[in-house]
Amino acid sequence: MIDYHIHSEFSPDSNAKIEEILKKARERGIDNIIITDHFEVVKGDHEFKFNVEEYRRTMEKFCLPVGVEFGWDGESPIDVDLKNFDFVILSCHVFKNPINQESYKDYLERLLNIINKFDSYHVLGHLDFPRRYSKKFEPFSKDLYPIIEEIFKKVINDGKGIEVNTDSMLKYGEPNPSFEILKLYRDLGGEFITIGSDAHKAEDVGRGVKEATKILKELGFDYIRILNGEWNAIKIGC
């Protein structure tokens, strides 16, 4: 199993020690992990940047790929060279309140604008992210699927992928993006998929990954991608 979305004490919202993360991964039979701490380039209080050289040295000390969750609002000047990272999750954590279908639409349009400007990433993170903060985990309306389709076509044409983020699996029974959105990705020919727990505590490493892998198979995905020096596709179930 893999877990390609984990936060450590390099993130402002995590205190997890890398040693603890590795120990928990071993206990759970997860033999391929990438720690992806937050590097946020946004306006306002949510901006966060770590020392890239110190971060790289630390990951290399533990023989880990150098991963990052790069958050961008689509407007702020980017002042980091993302070639310093082996694995980049591109995320947008900016959305409007109140959370409703209109704010979902605004979020998707922002995301589409971001990927039209920027391609220094490997996978697009938790595509329907604002859903986590809605009442009753309200899904994105089918009326918004044309925008999602545009996003996926751009991702696929650029040779990028998406992540299946399992943070919501235990609470709501569905990952980000939802099963229906994952089906759309599959129908459009999307194949590049990684899986990550979005753990911010060591005890959450690998949470929901096994369940999500099984569901991906049921949805018609045969492979997930892993990084071992280069990207490889491994058959689900092997």
Per-residue model confidence as pLDDT tens digits over 13-39: 999 999 999 999 999 999 999 999 999
Residue-wise pLDDT tens digits, 153-179: 999 999 999 999 999 988 888 999 999
Question: For position 238, what pLDDT does the model report?
Answer: 59
Structure tokens at 87: 């694995």
The rounded mean pLDDT for the chain is 95
Multiple choice CATH, 2-235, 3.40.50.720, 3.40.50.150, 3.40.50.1370, 3.20.20.140: 3.20.20.140
Share of the chain above pLDDT 70, in %: 99
CB 9 within 8 A of CB 51: no
Domain boundaries, the chain: 2-235
Structure tokens at 152: 């996926």
3-state secondary structure (DSSP) of residue 10: coil
pLDDT (average), residues 119-123: 97
CB 198 within 8 A of CB 169: no
pLDDT band for position 46 (cuts 50, 70, 90): confident
Asked whether residue 53 carries a pLDDT value surpassing 80, the answer given is yes
CA-based nearest residue to 68, from 7, 142, 115: 7
Distance CA 163, CA 194 (A): 5
pLDDT (average), residues 207-227: 96
Question: For position 237, what pLDDT does the model report?
Answer: 79
pTM for the model stands at: 0.96
pLDDT band for position 136 (cuts 50, 70, 90): confident
